[in-house]
């Protein structure tokens, strides 16, 4: 058997009253259908049983369903009691205030005093948060429940404890904050929403700096032109070296001196021929790269600085840099 507490006794005394109201409604409110009246009575009875068993959340849900089917003011008292048990003081306060307002003269003076005392006690567990949001039309949720859209006409009432505030608006970054609020505390929170366009768009100085840098396309085109020009010069020098080599082979004179001149001319010819082959290869790669970059020239954000250096030694040609 469940323990008979003062709250349980109040519930038991209300059962008969509420059943009579549900079955024989007053003309002061719109009468629900017979099916809704029976379902509301069943929901209410089930809520009382859940409350007696200590299942306050289940009782709250059943009373809500009963009130939806038959919105009589008496059920607001039950909803207020369940919210108190669940420490949901904002909802408890709202239910009790509405109970007194809707019940009016039908509520006995003794009952009104009890409820007013409960309202005064609950107010000590309430706080208020004023949200100043930089953009209009933002959806505001506290602890997962939407409480309104900016700008709010008044501060938001919350229960004491740790509260999570989330502000969302299309085109802006999500804003969220978790804070602790004490009883009867008033807090002001400045919410500055950040536009996603402002995040992705480059700033003025950065844009100016970027525009002064060559794009990858022009960099590649310039390097390719240098490769082709260098290859042309190397080809001319290679051809001259080849002629010198052939002249030395066909010359006459001291055999020992001739062999050395032929060897020197041959080494020069081979070296320049290697430079020419490398230049041809780099020119081909440069042309392909330029064509690829030309296809993506419309992507302005691909601008970057570059540094290209060419190193020439007797044995190799090297290129280094950053892109």
The answer to whether 139 and 175 have CB atoms below 8 angstroms apart is no
Residue 48 has a pLDDT of 95
Residue 271 has a pLDDT of 77
- Number of Cβ within 10 Å of residue 50's Cβ equals 19
Instruction: Examine the pLDDT at 10 and tell me if it is beyond 70.
Output: no
Tens of pLDDT, residue by residue over 109-158, are 999 999 999 999 999 999 999 999 999 999 999 999 999 999 999 999 99
The answer to whether 77 and 94 have CB atoms below 8 angstroms apart is no
The phi, psi pair for 64, rounded to 5°, reads -65, -45
Residue 107 has a pLDDT of 94
Beta strand pairing status for 126-133 and 186-191? parallel
Average pLDDT value for residue range 24-38: 68
Residue 278 has a pLDDT of 82
Cα–Cα dist 287/293, whole Å:
10
Tens of pLDDT, residue by residue over 277-304, are 786 877 777 677 767 766 655 454 444 4
What integer best gives the mean pLDDT of the chain?
A: 78
Q: Of all residues in the chain, what percent carry a pLDDT higher than 90? A: 49
The phi, psi pair for 269, rounded to 5°, reads -65, -45
Cα–Cα dist 149/168, whole Å:
10
- Three-class SS of the chain: CCCCCHHHHHHHHHHHHHHHHHHCCCCCCCCCCHHHHHHHHHHHHHHHHHHHCCCHHHHHHHHHHHHHHCCCCHHHHHHHHHHHHCCCHHHHHHHHHHHHHHHHHHCCHHHHHHHHHHHHHHHCCEEEEEEEECCCCCEEEECCEEEEECCCCCCEEEECEEEEEEEECCCECCEEEEEEECCCCEEEEEECCCEHHHHHCCCHHHHHHHHCCCCHHHHHHHHHHHHHHHHHHHHHHHHHHHHHHHHHHHCCCCHHHHHHHHHHHHHHHHHHHHHHHHHHHHHHHHHHHHHHHHHCCCCHHHCCCCEEEEEECCCCEEEEEEC
Residue 197 has a pLDDT of 84
- Where residue 241 falls among pLDDT bands split at 50, 70, 90? low
Most confident segment among 31-45, 212-226, 261-275: 31-45
Average pLDDT value for residue range 33-38: 89
pTM: 0.53
Instruction: Examine the pLDDT at 223 and tell me if it is beyond 50.
Output: yes
Instruction: Examine the pLDDT at 12 and tell me if it is beyond 80.
Output: no
All structural domains of the chain, each given as residue ranges with its CATH number in brackets, are 6-123 (1.25.40.10), 126-199 (2.60.40.1120), 208-322 (no CATH)
Tens of pLDDT, residue by residue over 48-97, are 999 999 999 999 999 999 999 999 999 999 999 999 999 999 999 999 99
Which residue is it, tokens 């933002």? 138
Cα–Cα dist 116/103, whole Å:
13
Residue 79 has a pLDDT of 96
Residue 301 has a pLDDT of 46
């Amino acid at each position: 058997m469940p323990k008979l507490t003062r709250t349980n006794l109040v519930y038991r005394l209300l059962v008969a009253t509420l059943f009579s109201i549900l079955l024989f409604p007053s003309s002061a409110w719109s009468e629900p259908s017979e099916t809704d009246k029976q379902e509301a009575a069943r929901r209410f009875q089930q809520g009382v049983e859940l409350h007696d068993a200590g299942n306050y959340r289940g009782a709250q849900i059943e009373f809500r369903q009963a009130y939806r089917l038959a919105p009589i003011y008496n059920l607001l008292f039950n909803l207020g009691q369940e919210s108190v048990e669940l420490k949901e003081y904002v909802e408890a306060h709202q239910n009790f205030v509405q109970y007194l307002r809707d019940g009016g003269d039908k509520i006995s003076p003794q009952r009104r005093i009890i409820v007013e005392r409960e309202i005064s006690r609950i107010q000590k567990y309430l706080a208020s948060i004023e949200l100043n949001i930089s953009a209009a039309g933002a959806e505001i949720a506290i602890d997962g429940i939407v409480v309104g859209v900016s700008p709010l006409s008044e501060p938001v009432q919350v229960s004491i404890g740790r509260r999570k505030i989330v502000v969302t608006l299309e085109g802006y970054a999500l804003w969220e904050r978790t804070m602790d609020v004490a009883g009867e505390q008033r807090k002001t929170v400045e919410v500055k929403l950040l536009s996603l366009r402002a995040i992705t768009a480059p700033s003025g100085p950065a844009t100016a700096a970027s525009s002064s840098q060559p794009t990858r396309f022009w960099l590649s085109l310039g390097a390719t032109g240098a490769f082709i020009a260098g290859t042309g010069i190397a080809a001319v020098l290679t051809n001259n070296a080849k002629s010198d080599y052939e002249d030395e082979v066909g010359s006459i004179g001291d055999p020992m001196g001739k062999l050395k001149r032929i060897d020197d001319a041959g080494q020069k010819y081979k070296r320049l021929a290697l430079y020419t082959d490398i230049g041809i290869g780099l020119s081909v790669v440069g042309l392909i790269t330029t064509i690829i970059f030309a296809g993506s020239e419309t992507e302005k954000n691909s601008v970057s600085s570059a540094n290209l250096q060419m190193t020439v030694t007797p044995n190799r040609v090297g290129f280094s840099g950053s892109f």
